[in-house]
Amino acid sequence: MISRKPLRAIRSFVRREGRLTDAQQCALNEYWSNYGVDFQENAFDQNSLFKRRAPLIIDIGAGTGDSTLYQAIQFPKNNYLAIEVHRPGVGHLLNEIHKAQLTNIKVINHDVIPVLEKQITNRSISQFFIFFPDPWPKKRHHKRRLINAYLINLLKQKLTRHGRIHIATDWADYADHISEVFKQDNDLVNLAGQNNFSPRPNWRIETRYEKRGQRLSHEIYDFCFTLR
């Protein structure tokens, strides 16, 4: 009998650890207890984690966290949670958080799917950022793309009433895929209108993935979705 793996079982990343620099390793050793949040099967309490009540924004697949860090500095009234599987990126971000002495940013080093399933309370997130998710350009790898109906369903449950999902990609074919999967969801609305892209938000900094896309003459596609 042919067994088909459910969408959920296919991961959007491959754990290719790569070498940690001394600075990244040192940051993981020294600063994890201040800014890191271990994965656990129970939902965490935001107010006790950040020691205050504030809108919580999650950056999914934060990479080296440049975007999350910039946001946390620019918008000190918000709390930020960077979720990233790649340890060198997490080490880099921990160092930067420590240098800037920020108290409004925490980091989870884990696959975002179980984090959303287990660790995040429903109706508690005011914005999600998914900037330059891995495009998995080969057709046979499309099933690995992070943005699919399963993820969207989780995001929907976690968003606050007027919460927003911001997405950017430089892959035209991934942008089409994103439009399609969101179009099939009846609870979310594309703020730019169906099949349209949003203007590039001026608060989104250019990370190295956006710059790379520009070097390759790729167009950049922004989306913003909210609950109906």
Ligand X SMILES: C[S@@+](CC[C@H](N)C(=O)[O-])C[C@H]1O[C@@H](n2cnc3c(N)ncnc32)[C@H](O)[C@@H]1O
**Is the Cβ of residue 11 or residue 51 nearer to ligand X in the bound state?**
11
The residue length of the chain stands at 228
Shortest gap between Cβ of 1 and ligand X (angstroms)?
29
**Is the Cβ of residue 118 or residue 189 nearer to ligand X in the bound state?**
118
CA distance 172 to 73: 31
Shortest gap between Cβ of 141 and ligand X (angstroms)?
13
* 173 included as an active-site residue: no
Beta strands in 17-104 (DSSP E): 56-60, 79-83
- Catalytic residue, chosen from 59, 66, 111, 134, is 134
The binding site for ligand X (CB under 6 A) comprises 12-13, 61-63, 67, 83-86, 89, 111-113, 131-134, 146, 207, 209
Shortest gap between Cβ of 106 and ligand X (angstroms)?
14
CA distance 37 to 49: 9
Tokens in use for 124?
């508690």
CA distance 86 to 97: 17
58 within 8 A of 81, measured Cβ to Cβ: yes
**Is the Cβ of residue 133 or residue 163 nearer to ligand X in the bound state?**
133
Residues carrying an active site annotation: 134
